[in-house]
Structure 1
Amino acid sequence: MKTKKTNGKNNYFIPLVQLFLVFFISLSVHAQDKKAKELLDQVTSKIKSYDNIVIDFKYSLNNTKENINQDSKGNVTMKGNQYVLNFMGVTKLFDGDKTYTIVPEDEEITISKINEKEDNAITPSKMLTFFNSGYKYTMDIVQDIKGRKIQYIKLVPTNTKDQRKEILLGIDIQTKHIYNLIEMGKKGTKTTLTVNSFKTNQPLSKNQFTFVKSKYPNYYINKLD
């Protein structure tokens, strides 16, 4: 049996998954701006109407002071509270009960069970409820991006301990789909998630969200629970 290995790429999944879930979580914040509420309701209605969603995205992390400038691409398939996320050569699969983090480079798989009762547990099932409170939001600028009208909504955390200064959620006015999300940190870090492709109601395999151990005969299995 192989000894446990570690890979720095796993560290990217925490901020990436959080940012990606905020993509949808942000839609359920309590109304503080009537126009913003109306637009968010339209986007939320659209998202709930789909059986599944498949997204190709670009993830950027920038901090001028620290001279950090990183770009990565990935994709995610979501259905209900299940998802498969591919990012930086790592696959993260959530089957509704357990999370499987698969790292081909290290031939390692980490299996963990998320406690839904934990307040800090960020899970797909909380996408439309996690940010029900804790933010002030208003309509922001409208930008013309490659012929698309993108309306931004600004969210500002009410908790002074929150390390995020503000979040800008960009929504395509015509399709009511999310175009991008920009998170500004108090220490100058800027993370951006941009949708390159947004597909819905795609034909999915029966095993799309099922972990099949036989596919990874030589992998080290690290069970955290």
Structure 2
Amino acid sequence: MTTILKRYKYLAIIASVLFINLSVSAQNSQKAKDLLDQVSAKVKGYDNIQINFSYSLQNLRQNVNQESKGNVTMKGNQYVLNLMGVTKIFDGKKNYTIVPEDEEITISKHDDNDADAITPAKMLTFFNSGFKYSWDILQNVKGRQIQYVKLTPLNGKDNRKEILLGIDAQTKNIYNLIETGKNGSKTVITVNSFKTNQPISKNHFTFTQSKYPNYYINNLD
């Protein structure tokens, strides 16, 4: 076999391997996207959602180590969030941030045009755009099969390096989120309980000022 033919055969093998790898990568990316679409569809099908979760933030470079537990109730874009001693209410028009430690309430208007505004509802659907998807590990967590999908931001200016989204393979509900920042931070949110279509009062997302006598009102509206 001539040298030219040997080189041609070698290049053909390399090209075939690269093609196979690219094909598998594309299939895995589509498989990840399909799973995320199923998660989004389920979330949209619920009348309301109640979640109890644990939250942790670590950054060894900055000597940060925070742990807390919280809960949130959501209906459409309305929500009541309790985390780190602070309650945040969004009634569909205004945000109310209640800080008992300072006896202060901040009222602000919601900006529908602010695409970067993070709300609890968006936390369950934020992955629909702006990311590169890849299929990751399947992990057994106390008898539950948790399939991870890796999300890599497409925007190079994003402070997030990558996000691992753990999804219960059976229920298609989110189990946890592991976010790694470019600054070395690691944020983990784990869902401890996930309830849907619960009986809640019609005033659940209504802010009642009379419940907070003597609180300072910081009205930014």
1:42 aligns with 2:38: yes
- 1:53-103 Cα deviation digits (max 9, x unpaired): 000000000112222221100000000010000011110000000000011
The structure 2 residue matched to 1:83, chosen from 69, 73, 79, is: 79
1:51 aligns with 2:52: no
1:61 aligns with 2:57: yes
Alignment of 1:85-164 (within 5 A): 85-123=81-119, 131-164=127-160
In 2, Cα distance between the equivalents of 1:122 and 1:150?
Answer: 25
Query: CA, structure 1 residues 196+138, in 2 after alignment: closer, same or farther (shift >3 Å)?
Result: same
Report which of the two structures shows the higher radius of gyration computed on alpha carbons: 2
Which structure 1 segments of 5+ residues have no match?
1-30
In 1, Cα distance between the equivalents of 2:205 and 2:75?
Answer: 9
Aligned residue for 1:6?
none
Query: CA, structure 1 residues 32+134, in 2 after alignment: closer, same or farther (shift >3 Å)?
Result: farther
- 1:148-193 Cα deviation digits (max 9, x unpaired): 1100000101111111100000000011110000100112100000
Which structure 2 segments of 5+ residues have no match?
1-26
The secondary structure found in structure 1 opposite 2:37 is helix
Aligned residue for 2:166?
170
Aligned residue for 1:9?
none
Aligned residue for 2:202?
206
2:200 aligned partner, one-letter code: L
1:72 aligned partner, one-letter code: S
Report deviation, 1:119: 3.4
Contact 2:73 2:79 in 1 (8 A): yes
TM-score by length of 1: 0.81
In 2, Cα distance between the equivalents of 1:182 and 1:126?
Answer: 16
1:118 aligned partner, one-letter code: D
Contact 1:116 1:123 in 2 (8 A): no
Larger helix fraction of residues: 2
The secondary structure found in structure 2 opposite 1:151 is strand
Contact 2:43 2:124 in 1 (8 A): no
In 2, Cα distance between the equivalents of 1:125 and 1:174?
Answer: 22
Report deviation, 1:131: 5.0
The secondary structure found in structure 2 opposite 1:33 is helix
The secondary structure found in structure 1 opposite 2:102 is coil
In 2, Cα distance between the equivalents of 1:195 and 1:125?
Answer: 14
Contact 2:72 2:120 in 1 (8 A): no
Query: CA, structure 1 residues 129+77, in 2 after alignment: closer, same or farther (shift >3 Å)?
Result: closer
In 1, Cα distance between the equivalents of 2:30 and 2:144?
Answer: 23
Aligned residues: CA RMSD: 1.9
